[in-house]
Amino acid sequence: MVHFTNRFSDEQAMILETNVEVKQSIKLPKRLEELLHHRKRNKVCAYLCLGFLLSIIFAVIALGLTELLFFTLGKLDPSIPIVPCNRRIVGYHDLSSEIDLSDKQFPLLTHVIFSPVDIQPNGTLFIGEENEKKLLSLVEKAKTFGLKTMFTTGDLKWNDHRISPVVADEYKRKTLIQSITSFVQKYKLDGVDVQWKFMRFKGDFAKLANLCKDVRKSLDEAAQSSNSPRFVMSIMSGWTMLEHIRYDEISRSVDFWNVETHSFYAHWHKSTGHLIGSQSALYSGERNVNNTMKEYTCRTNNPQSLNMMIAFFGRYWNNVMKPKNPDQTLWMTAEKSNGEVQGGFIPWRNFPNTEWNISTESWDVAAKTPYVWNPDKRSYLSFENEKSVEEKMKYALERNIGGVTIFHLNLDDDQVTLSKMIRNSKFCTAKMSNVVNYSC
Instruction: Tell me the pLDDT of the chain (440 aa) as tens digits.
Output: 434 344 444 444 443 344 444 344 444 455 555 555 555 555 555 555 555 566 666 554 544 444 444 444 444 455 665 568 999 999 999 999 999 999 999 999 999 999 999 999 999 999 999 999 999 999 999 999 999 999 999 866 656 778 889 999 999 999 999 999 999 999 999 999 999 987 878 889 999 999 999 999 999 999 999 999 999 999 999 888 888 899 999 999 999 999 999 999 999 998 899 999 999 999 999 899 999 999 999 999 999 999 999 999 999 999 999 998 888 888 999 999 999 999 999 999 999 999 999 999 999 999 999 999 999 999 999 999 999 999 999 999 999 999 999 999 999 999 999 999 999 879 999 999 999 999 99
In a domain, 435, yes or no: no
**Does 387 share its domain with 349?**
yes
CATH number at residue 397: 3.20.20.80
Measured distance CA(229)–CA(222) in Å, rounded: 10
Has residue 234 been placed in a domain? yes
Domain that holds residue 29: 10-69
| Shared domain check, 260 and 383 | yes
- 202 and 121 within one domain: yes
292 within 8 A of 239, measured Cβ to Cβ: yes
Predicted confidence at residue 272, as pLDDT, reads: 92
Instruction: Specify if 4 maps to a domain.
Output: no
**Cβ neighbours around 218 below 10 Å, total:** 18
d(CA 406, CA 93): 9
Residues 266 and 325 in one domain: yes
Tell me: cis bond preceding 111? Omega within 30 of 0 counts: no
Q: How far is CA 338 from CA 145, 319, 335, 342, 343, in A?
A: 50, 12, 10, 9, 13
Residue 155: per-residue pLDDT: 66
27 plus 142 within the same structural domain: no
Q: What pLDDT does residue 156 have?
A: 61
Examine the fold and report which residue of 69, 96, 119 is the final residue of a domain before the chain moves on. Answer: 69
How much is the pLDDT for 202? 81
CB atoms within 10 A of CB 28: 15
- Answer whether 191's CB lies under 8 Å from 147's CB: no
Q: pTM of the full predicted structure? A: 0.83
User: Which amino acid is present at 239?
Assistant: W
Domains in the chain: how many in total? 2
Q: Is residue 431 domain-resident?
A: no
Whether 184 and 59 share a structural domain: no
Instruction: Transcribe 200-219 into DSSP letters.
Output: SSTTHHHHHHHHHHHHHHHH
Same domain, 244 and 340: yes
In a domain, 229, yes or no: yes
